[in-house]
Chains A and B, each alone.
Chain A
Amino acid sequence: MRHEVYITPNEVKVDGKALNHKENGAALLTELYRAHIGDYPKFFKMDTLCKLGFVASELLLQAEGAPRFEPREDRAVVFFNRNASLQADTAYQATIQDPENFFPSPAAFVYTLPNIVTGEIAIRNKYFGETSFIVLEDFDEKTMMRELQNAFQDPMTKSILGGWLDCTDENHFEAKLSII
């Protein structure tokens, strides 16, 4: 069975089944973390793109039900989006915008690359396979499928945790992930 997770600021579906929730936006991600995960305090330090990818991957892997946290090289993590790390970039820019109040934030800076989230997921799950984050002009299923098929050219890769993971700000994001 192919497992899928879909998350927007006001909707959560796992394998097509809606998950109950009270909160919306970034608060929804925290609610999902507390209700379904809850053992990874680093979550609170992540930017919204990372929180989204982390929560979506956790729900997906829980749905898969396979043994977790055992080192493996056969699973790749491949994500796509349109806005790269825009929210983190904006947050970091805010810390250096004013010459009179110039205090670059290291915590904001570390998330100013979209592929940080692929690393977070790989570290959490002890995945030692390929990880990549591809920025597209728009949601393009054809291109995404082609890139995912390309990832399987690596003889080590037997499965991919991947899909669309986009975030503009705390109230605008979309995750559509599956295990292929």
Chain B
Amino acid sequence: MDDLIYTLKQQIIEALNLEDMKPEDIDENAALFGEGLGLDSIDALELIVLMEKNYGIKLKDPNQGKEIFKSVSVMADYISKNRTK
């Protein structure tokens, strides 16, 4: 799980252009939206694309994102249970 969390942080930094950030700078338990990394709605769409592109996970209902994108660790847990690649 630790490897997946680290890889996921790298993928998020790259996909969302989080300039100057390193995986170590992201607290895997901190909120991704709002107070945490301060991501916006376009970032949420990019995370949906990231999940499909890298892990073969298609979110049928975009509202699922609210739960799945709570934090990097919640996201990693969901990916580990639902990934198809």
Contacts and interface: CB of A to CB of B under 8 A. Distances in A.
A107 interface: yes
Contacts of B53: 103
Nearest to B37: A41
Nearest to A110: B42
Given A106-B42, A107-B42, A110-B42, A45 B16 contact: yes
**Consensus secondary structure, chain B interface:** helix
Interface residues of A, number: 10
Interface in B1-54: 15-19, 38, 42-43, 45-46, 49, 52-53
B16 A106 contact: no
Nearest to B38: A41
Contact of B49 (A41, A106, A110): A106
A105 B49 CA distance: 7
B69 to A, nearest CB: 14
A171 B27 CA distance: 36
B49 A103 contact: yes
A30 B38 CA distance: 21
8 contacts: A41-B38, A45-B16, A103-B49, A105-B49, A106-B46, A107-B15, A107-B42, A107-B46
Interface of B: 15-19, 38, 42-43, 45-46, 49, 52-53
